[in-house]
Amino acid sequence: MDVLGELALIGFDDHPAAGAVGLSIIRQPVRVAGRRAAEILIDTADNGTCPEHLELPLTLVGRMSTGGSWVVVG
């Protein structure tokens, strides 16, 4: 099997090794997620309410594991 020709690989989070081996990744804002988690925990403890849905911005970073270099921010 020709891995790069027949198969695309993508990971989640941008570990330094991902760039070194050319792995495309979906990067998430870890600090923002942690901050929001703490805020939600405090709000839930204080008010008994919790959001049903939370969206955080992700960045798709394409590298050789998906056929080339490209970045999509969204």
Q: Is the pTM of this model over 0.75?
A: no
Least confident of 10-19, 42-51, 65-74: 65-74
Residue 68: pLDDT band (50, 70, 90) is low
What are residue 10's DSSP bridge partners? 24
* pLDDT band at residue 21 using 50, 70 and 90 as cut-offs: confident
b/e per residue 13-38 (b: at least 16 CB within 10 A): ebeeebeeeebbbebeeeeeeeeeee
Q: How far does Cα 1 stand from its chain's mean position?
A: 28
Query: CA-to-CA distance for 53 and 70, rounded, in angstroms?
Result: 29
